[in-house]
Amino acid sequence: MEHEWMKSLPAEYAVEIVPPVKLETFADPSACSEKSHGYDSANERCFYQHAYAVTTERFNDDDDFTEVVTYFEKARAWRLKDGRWLTYLFRGGEEGDCRERAAPASYAVKLSNPFR
């Protein structure tokens, strides 16, 4: 079974991260947002994730209001055993009224966690 904190984690890094033993999740459904912090056995942060969406109301084909996502962002960060952080970022939004646009997901290894 894949744990929530393992989603988007590249397989080659699975043995290189410090796995969280405790997760704290904060969500605000009315704001379409969520944030999680993961902590190791020494209570040091070893995982971070956030996701949010910006929405707007538009008319659909039947001239009814419907809520559409105009921008979204998903970010994750895992602390590596050597102290660096593996980061994941996926974002996108609307491009015109007929097409969605999403940038390819990106990974990077950073000296510190850029997401606080």
User: What letter would DSSP give residue 16?
Assistant: T
pLDDT computed for residue 9 by the predictor: 95
Whether pTM exceeds 0.85: no
Ordered per-residue pLDDT tens for the chain, 116 residues: 457 889 899 999 999 999 999 999 999 888 888 999 999 999 999 999 999 988 878 777 777 777 777 788 899 999 999 999 999 998 887 655 545 566 788 999 999 988 77
pLDDT at residue 1, rounded to an integer:
43
C-alpha distance from residue 51 to each of 31, 62, 75, 82 (Å): 11, 31, 6, 26
pLDDT of residue 101: 66
Residue 100: CA atoms inside 13 Å, Cβ hemisphere, count?
A: 11
* φ and ψ at residue 72, rounded to 5 degrees: -145, 155
How far apart are alpha carbons 116 and 114 in whole angstroms? 6
107 near 86, Cβ under 8 Å? yes
